[in-house]
Amino acid sequence: MALVIIAAVVLLQLLIANSDMTGAFGAIASMWLGVHLVPVSIGGSELGVMPLLPVLAMVWGTARTTAAATAPNSSWFVTRWIVASALGGPLLMAAIMLAVIHDAGSVITELQTPNSLRAFGSVLAVNAVGAAIACPDRPVIALIGDGTAMYTIQSLWTMAREQLDVVSVIFNNASYSVLNMELSRVGATAGGPKAKEMLDLGQHTLLDFVALATGMGLSATRATTAEEFNDQFAAAIARTGPSVIEAIIPSIM
């Protein structure tokens, strides 16, 4: 429904401007990401994210549809698949929208593809909050990387303020490993130390997600082994309210 409304608004604006519809799909995709707090760059200038009202409408829409699909007596098995769909569907849409914008960039050269980490992180945060509101008696589990988490770290404060039953597992390998992988795939591996340093999150100051989470009012722990993670995850699921588990993992690159 949100995509239909966005498409209608964009097409109406293009018709009013007597446009030939060039880049219409790119504009629609950009607006969809915009209402998920993902900024878009055009001609080197970054456009700010959409105002808060459309974002709140997106959270409300996720909460409403998830609640409608979840019966009060639904089993945990059924509920977790509904919540997984509420999160997985938007993530798939985000991937499609990024591809559409990338394709539109070949026609509108000033339009730049948003950072994929920022896009997936923002989409996950917006919809995870909505899913948690929809199922207050069911815990929501959000799995996110350290680099992506920094794009949407403010969502932890929302979880604390609303006392949402969300367990956020942040995988900390102190690196933008996915970007290193992409550079490797295109053969861009000959960068100097300064270039490599840009993708290193732990060379100078290691991010402390336990401190960040507790500073915003959440319960937070750090797991350095699989056994510690199992114990901490079981404890987080057992209690009510938001919590964070920082899982320390090795970098794959």
CATH number of the domain where residue 183 is located? 3.40.50.970
Q: What is the DSSP string of 65-93?
A: HHHHHS-TT--HHHHHHHHHHHHHHHHHH
Q: How far apart are CA 225 and CA 249, in angstroms?
A: 8
pLDDT of residue 229: 95
Range from 15-24, 34-43, 70-79, 146-155 that averages highest in pLDDT: 146-155
What confidence tens digit (pLDDT) does each residue in 64-79 have? 777 666 666 666 566 6
Burial-class residue 235 by CB neighbours within 10 Å (0-12, 13-18, 19+). middle
Examine the domain organization and report whether 52 and 118 are in the same domain.
yes
Mean pLDDT of 32-43: 72
pLDDT of residue 4: 58
Residue 236: is its pLDDT beyond 90? Answer: yes
Model's pTM, two decimal places?
Answer: 0.56
Q: Which of 138, 162, 194 is the last residue of a domain?
A: 138
User: Quick one: pLDDT band at residue 17, thresholds 50, 70, 90?
Assistant: very low
Examine the domain organization and report whether 56 and 181 are in the same domain.
no
Tokens 């900390």 found at: 172
Q: Which of 138, 160, 191 is the last residue of a domain?
A: 138
CA angle 85, 159, 204 (to 5 degrees): 100
Examine the domain organization and report whether 36 and 16 are in the same domain.
yes
Instruction: State the pairing for strand pair 111-112/166-172.
Output: unpaired
Q: Which of 138, 170, 186 is the last residue of a domain?
A: 138
Examine the domain organization and report whether 42 and 21 are in the same domain.
yes
Examine the domain organization and report whether 209 and 242 are in the same domain.
yes
Examine the domain organization and report whether 147 and 103 are in the same domain.
no
Examine the domain organization and report whether 164 and 229 are in the same domain.
yes
User: Quick one: pLDDT band at residue 221, thresholds 50, 70, 90?
Assistant: very high
pLDDT of residue 124: 76
| Among candidate residues 90, 80, 84, the one with its CA nearest the CA of residue 58 | 90
Range from 85-94, 148-157, 191-200 that averages highest in pLDDT: 148-157
Residue 57: is its pLDDT beyond 50? Answer: yes
Examine the domain organization and report whether 12 and 47 are in the same domain.
yes
Residue 212: is its pLDDT beyond 90? Answer: yes
202 or 147: which carries more pLDDT confidence? 147
Examine the domain organization and report whether 128 and 219 are in the same domain.
no
Examine the domain organization and report whether 149 and 218 are in the same domain.
yes
Residue 114: is its pLDDT beyond 50? Answer: yes
Instruction: Count how many domains the chain has.
Output: 2
Domain that holds residue 34: 1-138
CB neighbour burial string for 6-22, b if at least 16 within 10 angstroms, e if fewer: bbeebeeebeeeeeeee
Residue 16: is its pLDDT beyond 50? Answer: no
Examine the domain organization and report whether 117 and 143 are in the same domain.
no
pLDDT of residue 162: 85
Examine the domain organization and report whether 118 and 58 are in the same domain.
yes
Q: What is the DSSP string of the chain?
A: -HHHHHHHHHHHHHHHTT---TTHHHHHHHHHHHTTT--EEETTEEEPPPPHHHHHHHHHHHHHHHHHHS-TT--HHHHHHHHHHHHHHHHHHHHHHHHHHHHHTTTSTTEEPPPHHHHHHHHHHHHHHHHHHH-TTS-EEEEEEHHHHHHSTTHHHHHHHHT--EEEEEEE-SB-HHHHHHHHHTT-----HHHHHTTBSSSSS---HHHHHHHTT-EEEEE-SHHHHHHHHHHHHHSSS-EEEEEE-----
| Residue pair 60/130 in contact by the 8 Å Cβ criterion | yes
